Amino acid sequence: MAPPARPPRVGEDWEEGTGESSPPPRSPHASDPDRHEVQRKICGRLRQTGRHDRTLAYPTFNARFARHIERLPRRYLLDLDIDGKVEDVVLHWRILDECADPNKRPVFRARFLMLTALLSEVGLNIQEANVYSTKDGFCLDVFAVDGWKTEETDELIVAIKETLTQKKIVRHTTIFDIFMIKD
């Protein structure tokens, strides 16, 4: 077994690596994704699923979807799994559109730590968490979790709402609030 590496001395460079909680290095071209190309790939994958034909056929779809992609940070586009989770993009679009409607604003607010504790309390293990701030003032929290018995979320949403009711989560008014979207 090799001896542990000596820490760098003052003036020496640190060698950066990837760890359990850090993403793998990205290629130089990945740092500046072409939004139009990403949109084209997403639409192509949605067509392949066959579940979004009516949505894709709307005359205003491309312009509306382009606005959605434009309001998100470039990091969101870099983090996308276009091949595996393309349906998540549509879900995120729907959630952000609902938040923009004053009549459908979120019911609950919770600090990030409260939200992660809540997910743990209903039996979920957070594998990854990403928070994206949109250009129009919203925040999209995306959690990759395991520990739920099925892929269906209806029972999960009920369990989260019941836990929130039991905890009597109330509205907070700080800028650091994270929203949980009602279904």
Per the prediction, the chain carries an average pLDDT of 76
CA–CA dist 34, 16 (Å, integer)? 27
Say which range, 142-146, 161-165, 170-174, has the weakest mean pLDDT: 170-174
Say which range, 50-54, 108-112, 135-139, has the weakest mean pLDDT: 108-112
Amino acid 7: pLDDT: 52
- List the domain boundaries for the chain: 34-105, 106-183
Inform me whether the pLDDT recorded for 147 exceeds 80.
yes
pLDDT digits (tens, 9 = 90+) for 83-133: 778 888 988 998 888 888 888 766 555 677 778 888 899 999 999 999 999
Inform me whether the pLDDT recorded for 2 exceeds 60.
no
pLDDT band with cut points at 50, 70 and 90 for residue 82: confident
Query: How many residues appear in the chain?
Result: 183
Residues 174, 100: contact at Cβ < 8 Å?
Answer: no
Q: Could you tell me which residue, 175 or 45, shows the higher pLDDT?
A: 45
Inform me whether the pLDDT recorded for 18 exceeds 80.
no
Q: What is the largest CA-CA distance in the chain?
A: 64
Amino acid 170: pLDDT: 46
Percentage of the chain exceeding pLDDT 70:
70
Q: Could you tell me which residue, 174 or 107, shows the higher pLDDT?
A: 107
SS (H, E, C) the chain: CCCCCCCCCCCCCCCCCCCCCCCCCCCHHHHCCCHHHHHHHHHHHHHHHCCCHHHHHCCCHHHHHHHHHHHCCHHHHHHCCCCCCHHHHHHHHHHHHHHHCHHHCCCEEECHHHHHHHHHHCCCEEEEEEEEECCCCCEEEEEEEECCCCCCCHHHHHHHHHHHHHHCCCCCCCCCCEEECCC
Q: What angle do CA 11, 15, 16 make, to 5 degrees?
A: 130
Residues 37, 77: contact at Cβ < 8 Å?
Answer: no
pLDDT band with cut points at 50, 70 and 90 for residue 30: low
Amino acid 132: pLDDT: 92
pLDDT band with cut points at 50, 70 and 90 for residue 9: low
